[in-house]
Amino acid sequence: MTTPAQREDKFSSKYVAATVSLKVASQLSTMKGGFASIAGMSDLVAKEQLIQSALNAITPSVPTIHYPYYLNFGREIWRLTKRGISGPALADSAHNLKTKYIAYGLIGATLDAVAAIFSLTGL
């Protein structure tokens, strides 16, 4: 059994600046490629713009302070799609997310409008 001091030393050794720097440097080109790819941030930005347009079109208007929460709902659905989740599994996951965000006090119909951007209906 390892002692607390041994565990602390092992943990601390993982986060030595020189070690972390080398790890990040070796992954940097892959990280940049994923960030700039069509499936990367440009796709997310496009979806966020569609979400904002949908929120702007809803009557009565959505309070601006709630926009980040609706955007986060959309981002979570987007992340699921990028992980390869689709079909009924995506719909079930989106339904669970909707339940979570309704518990935060958001409106179900507005969440449905956001989900529709990802071709999800009937949540």
pLDDT digits (tens, 9 = 90+) for 81-112: 988 898 999 999 999 999 999 999 999 999 99
Q: Check the CA dihedral 8-9-14-19 and report its sign.
A: positive
Judge contact between 7 and 41, C-beta under 8 A. no
Give residue 17's pLDDT: 78
Examine the pLDDT at 35 and tell me if it is beyond 80: no
Under CATH, what is the fold of the domain 41-116? Methane Monooxygenase Hydroxylase; Chain G, domain 1 (1.20.58)
Q: What is the mean pLDDT of residues 2-31?
A: 82
Cα–Cα distance measured from residue 31 to residue 66, given in angstroms and rounded to the nearest whole number:
31
Q: pLDDT tier at 37 (50, 70, 90 boundaries)? A: low
Cα–Cα distance measured from residue 44 to residue 39, given in angstroms and rounded to the nearest whole number:
8
What are the extents of the domains in the chain?
A: 4-36, 41-116
Give residue 10's pLDDT: 84
Give residue 96's pLDDT: 94
Specify the pTM.
Answer: 0.71
